[in-house]
Structure 1
């Protein structure tokens, strides 16, 4: 599908509007391997989140996806903790899901150090958005909602933007929040599993047809596992096209359940994924889940039932 870039990707990412309103527990000193090669160690942040987050730097693009569960689900407490987490996470770009209040989202953005953000009004009470570091992003196209005519496959339209990093690198991001659960079919839609399969089919077709020569990242709450056997794997179209696509978080999905992004007592699973196109394969570095409840006791009750998944591109 695409030509793999031989040069390093120093990153990309975001600023905008429309009805738009305006990183199991990570081991910072043992980040693992990338394609069998040892990755450089990362340094833990200081203070409260030392066991959950690691220091980022300007030589890498640090990307995160974060479902912030009906933000803000506990009012001012959620706002204050989200501010603390984002400032400490220090990611260059965060794709967020489940933004209920655009007004509170804007309040959060205004309280952050060196960040801007955008949330798009479609998607009902659970909106999608982006938060980005203004010192790293030189341009951010107005986000465009995709698949607005297919509420079955996309009950919340996907949100696409193309970003330019200070290095000049351009990357297209598609933020998704797919249908949850295993609902039975309705008069108008197939069951939940098939709706996610439909979404995966449409996403891949869209990228293959429209973005075949671009570096692409699809990230968000995919609401399904990526390790299911072939017959049950709703994202098999991406998984089986290994020359062109890679789930960067596959080591999390096949690893300890302590690092799964969704830690519900009823349904422990890894649902939040970051898919990259082959233009970015050579740049893939550390990918980890920020298991924030080990550092902030109020996290699950006052912030989210999902943990951020963070990817470093070098």
Structure 2
């Protein structure tokens, strides 16, 4: 694994709009998650802010967001910064960062956050990078690196893996390994086979981490495929055939919610390893329909064709 060293501390700024409609991550379909509140909270417990705020001081939030060839236009940077701040998320995996200089400019306007961005390029000056944006008061980045650098056919964009120290409200620290992915896009048997192979290699990698004593692993990002495909076409069986080791927080949303707006499909996911199951059972996961809730501008034109997907975990 090749070690990288591209870390930008950054302050934060924000002003815009978004909302979440979510189901419990543990698999129940009868409960709900209301944006801006922890489970069981009342309206009086919500922080002031837009209806689409999903974070709070009582919870830890992880999310994935494909920001479609960021930036789409000259207004995107300000709008994305506004949305990140308003969502109030602690750890965000991002995909399709197409201009690292403008991404750095985005981070310069985000107080209390840091970020790490993949150094990968398809060829000089051409790339769709993945990365992390994280709240520095809660998360301390120990190291990060790219995975599967020699597997460009299976991983056209190598997964970015980071080891974080997560500080709880009681001052204790938990080691959290997070991998952000952006798997091969498009339909067709060949592309499906590439995604299936990618999932197999990721599952094996997480198993190797577990064998080394790493208990808490999250794989999140744009998997470019649906969890509820028929078994013959399902690329996720290396995970789903081992429910004692892996759990998709997005599984209860399959067939009910969508993250990729043009085709109304759920292809952005968060996967948790066994060590996090107890915490995950207490949490909620949902899709934030910014394209519907934002009225000040056209989200699909100026920001992205993907909706953020968020898991909220109570402390």
**What is the TM-score normalised by the length of structure 1?**
0.83
Secondary structure of the residue aligned to 2:5 is coil
Partner in structure 2 of residue 112 of structure 1: 110
Query: 1:10 maps to what in 2?
Result: none
Residue of structure 2 in register with 1:149 after alignment: 150
Of 178, 183, 189, the residue aligned with 1:173 is 178
Give the 5 Å matches for 1:202-213: 202-212=201-211, 213=213
Where in structure 1 are there 5+ consecutive unaligned residues? 1-15, 185-190
Which whole-Å CA distance do the structure 2 matches of 1:55 and 1:20 have between them?
Answer: 24
Partner residue in 1 for 2:133: 131
How far 1:121 sits from its partner (Å)? Answer: 1.6
Q: CA deviation at 1:183?
A: 4.5
The 3 A distance-change label for structure 1 pair 254 and 183 is closer
Partner of 1:8 in structure 2?
none
In structure 2, do the counterparts of structure 1 residues 35 and 42 end up closer, same or farther at CA, with 3 Å as the change threshold? farther
Q: How many residues align?
A: 281
CA RMSD of aligned residues (A): 2.5
Counterpart position of 1:18: 5
**Hey, what's the Cα distance between the residues in 2 that align with 1:237 and 1:35?**
19
* SS of the residue 1:142 aligns to: strand
1:236 aligns with 2:237: yes
Q: 2:187 aligns with which of 171, 175, 182?
A: 182
Say which of 226, 246, 263 aligns to 2:261: 263
* CA distance, structure 1, for counterparts of residue 93 and residue 42 of structure 2: 22
Return the alpha-carbon distance in structure 1 between the equivalents of residues 42 and 253 of structure 2. Answer: 17
CA–CA separation in structure 2 for the residues paired with 1:279 and 1:243: 10
Task: With the length of structure 2 as denominator, give the TM-score of the two structures.
Answer: 0.82
1:46 CA displacement? 4.3
In the alignment, is the contact (CA less than 8 A) between 2:60 and 2:90 conserved in 1?
A: yes
Aligned counterpart, 1:12:
none
Q: What CA distance in whole angstroms lies between the structure 1 residues aligned with 2:248 and 2:114?
A: 27
Q: Residues of 2 paired with 1:99 and 1:93: CA distance?
A: 16
Q: Which aligned pairs between 1:1-314 and structure 2 lie closer than 5 A?
A: 18-19=5-6, 26-27=20-21, 34=26, 36=28, 39-41=39-41, 46-47=48-49, 49-50=50-51, 52-57=52-57, 59-75=58-74, 77-124=75-122, 125-137=127-139, 139-167=140-168, 168-183=173-188, 191-212=190-211, 213=213, 214-255=215-256, 259-264=257-262, 267-284=263-280, 285-296=283-294, 297-314=297-314
Supply the distance in 2 between the matched residues of 1:40 and 1:33 (Cα, whole angstroms): 15
CA displacement, residues 261-306 of structure 1 (integer Å, 9 cap, x when unaligned):
1011xx2211100000111111110101111112324211100010
Deviation, structure 1 residue 20:
5.5
